[in-house]
Amino acid sequence: MAFRDVNSRRHIGLQQLSSLASAGRTLLGPMKSCKFVVDESTNQSMLICSAVRLIESLDLSSAAGQLLNETIQAQNKEFKTGMSTLLFLVGAWSNAVLECLQQNVPVSAIVSVMSEGLNSCCEKVQCLQISVHDVNKELCSSSVRPNTSSSKTYEVACDGFLNPQIFLCLQKEVSPSKELVPRNSCSHQEADSNLNKGLVSPLADCKQKRLTHSRYFSALATSPSSSQLDDSQVCLSGQSAHPCECYGLGHLARALSHGNEPNMKLLKSIVAYQHERAECSGSNQFNIAEVVTCCLPGLPESYSCICPGFVTLVSPEQAAVIKHLGDKPLRILLTEGDLTEAYRHLGFTKPRNIRTVLERPDLQEGRPGDVWLNTSLDILTRSQVSLVLVKGHVCENLLERCVANKILVVGSVPQKVLSAFGEASGAQPVTYLTQLSASCVGSGAQLELWTASDGRAMDLGELVPVRIRVRGLTLLTAVLTTAVPAKMQLVEDRFWTLVYRLHHALRDGKVFLGGGAVELLCLSHSQALAKQTLKLANKKPVKEFHGPWLAASSAEYKPVVLQALASGWSQYLAAVMCNTAKATSLFEAQTLIEHHLKKAADCGSPSAYVLKEFQTGGMFQGGPVPSTGSAEGCRVYDNVTAKTEAWRRALDLVLLVLQTDAEIISGPQTNQLLNSPASSEFMFL
Amino acid sequence: MSRLEAKKPSLFISDPLTKDAVSQSLSLLNRILKSCYGPAGRLKQLHNGVGGYVCITSQSSAILGRLSVSHPVLKVLTASVQNHVARFSDCGLFTAILCCSLIENFKSLPVPSCTVIKISKDLLSLCTDYLKSEACGCRVSVDFSNLKTLLCLVRSVLTSKPACMLNATEVDHLTMLIVKAFMFTIPCHVETKAVLGKCVTVPVKGRRVLDSTVLPGLLIETPEIQFAKLLSVKRISSDAIKIALFCVSMSGDLFNPEEGMITVHHGISLEMSELNQLLNVGKQLVNDEVGLVVCQKVIHPSLKQYLKENQVMVVDRAGLSVMEPLSQMTGSKPIASIHSFSPSCYGSLKDVCTKSFGSKHFVHLIPNDTVVCSLVLCNRNETTWDELKTCSLSTSSFKDADYSQTQYQLIADAFCSSLESVACSLSHDDEILTDTVYGHCWLVPSGFPSVSNWSDLLSKCGCGINSNTQNLNWRLLRPHFGSPTPQSCPEEPSVKAADLLTLDCFAAKYSGLQVAVETANLILDLKCIIEDQN
């Protein structure tokens, strides 16, 4: 039982956080620099470029490190995005708080002012949210028109658009625009009107011009059928209002991809497949639960693609079975748990004290396991099952016997694959083969070897990719390839990040203006708050959340603490600018930020300034310019909840560690601590 | 073969309190606990030093539960505080700090311990009498028809736990939920003896606090695979589903596996016969038109399959915590045997549906009478969730204790130096002042020179009852260690804070005071320790 004080002025926990977080600086923003992680014991190396993988490979024996790990894992589990932001802000705010401590700011003041400040920032940036529907409308229309900013060129373009497809799209777009003013979640914000002007009015102006230029449109504009489209419909069914081939999501996917071009194409392809199916069944337009990945290291990255069905790797012997089975429809069985003799369902304890006596030795019986093997195989052949998908492991012997009997058994199948196959084939998952009845077996499964886009079948040394399908199966497999095996994990991580970004954007129903716009507004807002409180400092104290307990002290320290909060955003912006090569040095980045901050302050309304900058594509132009796309394609958006939650989690962690004044170490290590060089720091109970 | 070893002689330690090691440990413990006290209390990181889970907390229950104290004196102290917390779920730190301070202060007196004990008993009764009397200036009775005081009380508890990392909106939201949950548990038809219902906490980690909610009825988590396949339930009428509740494992494993050796003939499978017995139970359930089977433990997959084929909904691995509220809510008796049970054990339920929170899926059981509710508690990560859970437990349980008294009161306390030192540890950055009119507590930022004109700096007292209207004659509150004068206490009670903004539970603090004094007396009375070293 040991006890150690955490020196309050040079808080050990905060220093640990800051040094751990500094490792993740280069992972911020669209241009990440990857890191090599080398395992010294095995000499294996892996490329990483996400905060989760970084944290996984760092030494986290300290208590603060453990808390950081826990926080990042929680963000990863919930959002799959925003972890690098979280890690960076933890570092930046730890440093800022340490500086506050140096200036003798009391802990309670730091805690209350910082958390209030962040809340205020989160409210402020609500005016930079745009509904997904509006983003789609704007992006899709801008993709039809080559240039939004000049209406002159647009007129020209309009004339050239007289082909039936474009005509259709304009017909659908025109009438809603008369009534539909895109609404933000916070209509009272000053920036709202700016937003409408900035984002939509050019569009509306253009359309009016369109009306005068074309004899078709004046009649159509009053058509009652199209004017009945309302906000939610457009948003949910999306597609009807969107003419281009992106099905309402492709452009959004691009804007969220932050320059992640190859994965963006995969995502577009998923959207296209799911759209096609949604048209038949009327179901949800983007369902993340119906996507799985299959990694094929060794192929060039251009071979990555989306395949309907389940693609997985099997042994060459099993691949031979597939060739034998051909493409006739097969009966399919799904099992939960392992397919081994010893396996019992969860919660079953095997009795140890049972002795079996054999009265007459039967020499004909073979090895003890054979009985189970024979009955299992017998059950499978009797019910004419040719394909078994198993959630857990499969007994090697059974696997061999099944191959000999032309049955394909695939182990380690994810739960969502089992569910999808159950739904499509009518199979009911069983735990034991003895449970098998006619109603449990599904039908109509088809097997084939997976072939790459150029038609060549793959044989990746020991394993062969196969594709399993059933009529009506909603499952899509993202086949991810890379020629560098060390990059495999990275490719898969980046794919899921993008998929989840689109998922969260749709779930939130809104996105943030990206490329640092939100952070710049936070920075300017927290600086403004600091100035404001400096003026009010000697007037009456504001009533605060913690009541009079804490109000007494915090007012005086407010400007210092708010500056500390602001420095987090400022460092964030500078780091992103350096990573994306918009600035060559931190100093240049800081100067650029100062320049923008000053202009924003001069403009009177910082949010309006940020919006204008975003519109003109100045400072917030995202990522690397793709070689094929136009400048338009670079508009960048961010997730709302994932981002604000990452901020909140980062600040919570820093404040939590800040408020700890001691470590209490329990357990059997007391003697080790007593003998360790640091033993003088500890006190023992 | 067992090895025999000679017994070691017991260790005899006389006058344990005079030993340096004890007083050092005691003052260290006191220091740790004092720094945790109050809404701005400092947090402690508790871990085992080799990585893994780190607990960040300022709550006595969490700290004392994880501390491994070695000395018998400290063991007595922590045990009695933990016992108090187990009963009242509140005021643990108050009790512990007061107890430590009393021991420290009394120990240094040049008075024999029996005299100290006698006097301190008298003082205790003086204090308790004062607190119970109408004259007590720090009591607020709780009117149960008016939610305001109740809300204040819950809010005080929530805001006193900084490790929860809640902001103002989140505190408001949770306060409402907890009070709502408490309201759900009050039965609509009060009979002779009102029994409060149960509130079951459902953990959802990783979500925002604002996603928390209260639902009438019970939520039981189910794996996704079952969630997808919940069939329509067999009903006996439009608003009644027959439910059978099992508290015995139905996984098909054998009874008491540890005792003796069982010999079976080759070819006979005990597992199969056990499964057959289970399937017989299944048949009986189907015949009795049961629509829902809930099992505390695991149900064999074959039995599940059979029941599902017969349109009976199955929920297994429900866990011990839901058993009592479930039986209370449905009127069913938990069945403890798979060999014989009577249909009178079945209960009934109004409806069943499914709910999802984040990545978790639940079966929602809706009763006819809502005395049971589920509090779905979300917080961003594990550490903060654990802290939140413990403190919401304390809020819900301490209300229980007070309901029986039908009076909710507030305290102020009176034990000079020890009490003052408790009050002093309330703040960690600021200076504490006390006024000589009401005896309430006031805070000023530290760093100011000893100003005579305090009224310029102060606007409201710590609890919020009194505002700075007249000159209240403030003085600095400082712990006077070393010069305690217990005899003078009753004459000038230095009454500490409380009121409409910051409330404490009367019953808990009252008991805390008694426990602290009695434990201190007990420890002071220790003459020797006999330790069995075997």
Q: What is the DSSP letter of A433?
A: G
- The residues facing B47 across adjacent strands are A665
- The residues facing A664 across adjacent strands are A3, B46
Tokens of residue B434, six digits: 């006390």
The fold adopted by the segment(s) B216-256+267-373 is GroEL (3.50.7)
| HEC sequence for A170-232 | HHHHHHHHHHCCCCCCCCCCHHHHHHHHHHHHHHHHHHHHHHHHCCCHHHHCCCHHHHCCCHH
Residues of B whose CB is below 8 A from A435: 301-302, 305
**Terminus-to-terminus CA distance in chain A, angstroms?**
6
| Residues A624-629, mean pLDDT to the nearest whole number | 40
Q: Check residue A645 and give its pLDDT.
A: 92
- CA separation for the pair B411, B19 (Å, rounded): 36
Task: Considering only CA atoms, give the Rg of chain B.
Answer: 28
Query: Does the pLDDT of residue A72 top 90, yes or no?
Result: yes
> Strands A464-470 and A129-131, how do they pair?
unpaired
- Flag whether A466 is in a domain: yes
Tokens of residue B324, six digits: 């009592």
Q: Check residue B372 and give its pLDDT.
A: 79
Rounded mean pLDDT of chain A?
77
Scan for tokens 């399959």, then name that residue.
Answer: B305
- Flag whether A95 is in a domain: no
Whether B183 contacts B372, CB under 8 Å: no
- CA separation for the pair B444, B457 (Å, rounded): 7
pLDDT in tens, B440-468: 444 444 444 444 444 444 444 444 444 44
Whether A314 contacts A268, CB under 8 Å: no
Determine, for residues A548 and B49 on separate chains, whether the beta-carbon distance falls below 8 Å.
no
Greater model confidence, B501 or A361: A361
| Residues A469-491, mean pLDDT to the nearest whole number | 90
Whether B335 contacts A384, CB under 8 Å: no
Selected residues 261-300 of chain B with any CB under 8 Å from a CB in chain A: 261-266, 270, 297-298, 300
- Flag whether A469 is in a domain: yes
Positive or negative, the Cα torsion across B465, B471, B473, B474? positive
Residue A37, H or E segment: strand A35-38
- CA separation for the pair A243, A136 (Å, rounded): 11
Tokens of residue B336, six digits: 């403890």
Selected residues 419-448 of chain A with any CB under 8 Å from a CB in chain B: 419, 428-432, 434-435, 439
Q: What is the CATH number of the domain that holds A340?
A: 3.50.7.10
Determine the number of helices (DSSP H) and then strands (DSSP E) in chain A: 26, 18
Whether B165 contacts A653, CB under 8 Å: no
- CA separation for the pair B142, B36 (Å, rounded): 28
Scan for tokens 């004659």, then name that residue.
Answer: B473
Smallest CA-to-CA distance from A549 within B477, B154, B153, B40 is with B40
Query: Does the pLDDT of residue A133 top 90, yes or no?
Result: no
Cβ neighbours of residue B298 closer than 8 Å, sequence gap 6 or more: A345, A346, A347, A348, B249, B250, B251, B316, B317
Residues of A whose CB is below 8 A from B225: 336, 415, 418-419, 429
pLDDT in tens, A146-193: 433 333 333 333 333 333 333 333 333 333 333 333 333 333 444 333
Whole-complex ipTM: 0.75
Positive or negative, the Cα torsion across B267, B271, B273, B275? negative
- Flag whether A327 is in a domain: yes
Facing B502 at nearest CB: one of A346, A350, A547:
A547
- CA separation for the pair A654, B381 (Å, rounded): 14
- Flag whether A396 is in a domain: yes
Categorize the per-residue pLDDT at A543 as very low, low, confident or very high, splitting at 50, 70 and 90. Answer: very low
Domain boundaries B12-136+402-531, CATH class:
mainly alpha
B56 touches A: beta carbon within 8 Å: yes
Edge-first strand listing for the sheet containing B430-435: B441-445, B430-435, B474-476
Provide the residue type at B484 as one letter: P
Q: Which residue of A has its CA nearest to B63?
A: A664
A351 touches B: beta carbon within 8 Å: yes
Provide the residue type at A7 as one letter: N
Cβ neighbours of residue A3 closer than 8 Å, sequence gap 6 or more: A662, A663, A664, A665, A682, A683, A684, A685, B28, B32
User: What's the length of chain B?
Assistant: 534
CA distance A488 to chain B (A): 27
Which residue intervals of A49-200 are DSSP H helices? Answer: 51-56, 63-79, 83-102, 107-124, 132-144, 151-159, 164-179, 190-195
Residue B265, H or E segment: strand B262-265
- Flag whether A642 is in a domain: no
Tokens of residue B527, six digits: 């003459």
Put simply, whether the predicted model's pTM sits higher than 0.80 gets the answer no
- CA separation for the pair A550, B160 (Å, rounded): 12
> How far apart, in Å, are the Cα atoms of B72 and each of B69, B106, B112, B280?
8, 19, 22, 56
The number of distinct structural domains making up chain A is 1
- CA separation for the pair A283, A294 (Å, rounded): 25
pLDDT in tens, B408-434: 222 223 344 455 555 545 444 444 444
Determine, for residues A345 and B300 on separate chains, whether the beta-carbon distance falls below 8 Å.
yes
Determine, for residues A541 and B461 on separate chains, whether the beta-carbon distance falls below 8 Å.
no
- The residues facing B442 across adjacent strands are B433
> How far apart, in Å, are the Cα atoms of A655 and each of A7, A98, A651?
15, 11, 6
B20 touches A: beta carbon within 8 Å: no
Q: Which residue of B has its CA nearest to A62?
A: B51
User: What's the length of chain A?
Assistant: 685
- The residues facing A514 across adjacent strands are none
Q: Check residue B116 and give its pLDDT.
A: 76
Whether A92 contacts A68, CB under 8 Å: no
- The residues facing A449 across adjacent strands are A466
Tokens of residue A524, six digits: 């300017």
Query: Does the pLDDT of residue A118 top 80, yes or no?
Result: yes
- Flag whether A411 is in a domain: yes
Whether A80 contacts A74, CB under 8 Å: no
| Residues A26-31, mean pLDDT to the nearest whole number | 84
Greater model confidence, B506 or B309: B309
| Residues A561-581, mean pLDDT to the nearest whole number | 91
Domain that holds residue A445: 310-346+369-474
By CB neighbour count within 10 A (0-12 exposed, 13-18 middle, 19+ buried), where does B474 fall? buried
Query: Does the pLDDT of residue A623 top 60, yes or no?
Result: no
Categorize the per-residue pLDDT at A282 as very low, low, confident or very high, splitting at 50, 70 and 90. Answer: low
Residues of B whose CB is below 8 A from A356: 263-266
- Flag whether A338 is in a domain: yes
CA distance B251 to chain A (A): 6
Residues of B whose CB is below 8 A from A115: 165, 167
Provide the residue type at A57 as one letter: S
Categorize the per-residue pLDDT at A304 as very low, low, confident or very high, splitting at 50, 70 and 90. Answer: very high
Whether B57 contacts B365, CB under 8 Å: no
Whether A301 contacts A482, CB under 8 Å: yes
B40 touches A: beta carbon within 8 Å: yes
CA distance B262 to chain A (A): 5
Measured in degrees and rounded to the nearest 5, phi and psi for residue A296 equal -120, 85
| HEC sequence for B93-113 | HHHHHHHHHHHHHHHCCCCCH
- CA separation for the pair A312, A467 (Å, rounded): 7
Residues of A whose CB is below 8 A from B258: 353
Q: Where in chain B is the domain with CATH 1.10.560.10?
A: 12-136+402-531
Categorize the per-residue pLDDT at A14 as very low, low, confident or very high, splitting at 50, 70 and 90. Answer: very high
Tokens of residue B242, six digits: 């027959």
